[in-house]
Amino acid sequence: MSAREIVIYTRSSYCSSCERAKALLKRKGVTFREVDIESDPGVRQELMTRTGQRTVPQIFIGERHVGGYDDLAALDRSGELDKLLAQPTQ
């Protein structure tokens, strides 16, 4: 459905919000790249630099920072997620 790269920052230890975000994206039929912030301390710093956030998940669709699971779910409920996923890459 989407040609834009979708990146989701997660952690390897259990994270229910991460699991819900990944499940929602899978239901949409999109592929995503998962980045585990626990695997490398530099990745956690990258996340903080990119978003100003320490919590996961943090989701990017293309260059747009969507936010966490609650933000993703709100976009889905409003119909905006489908529109965002359908936008062509630039």
User: Is 71 contained in some domain?
Assistant: yes
Cα-flanking dihedrals φ and ψ of residue 88, to 5°?
A: -70, 155
State how many domains the chain has: 1
What is the rounded CA–CA span in Å between residue 30 and residue 62? 13
Q: What's the pTM?
A: 0.89
Report yes or no on 54 lying in a domain.
yes
The reply to whether 1 falls in a domain is no
pLDDT in tens, 24-65: 999 999 999 999 999 888 998 889 998 998 899 999 999 999
Which range marks the domain in which residue 62 is found? 6-86
CATH code of 36's domain? 3.40.30.10
66 with 60: CB under 8 angstroms? yes
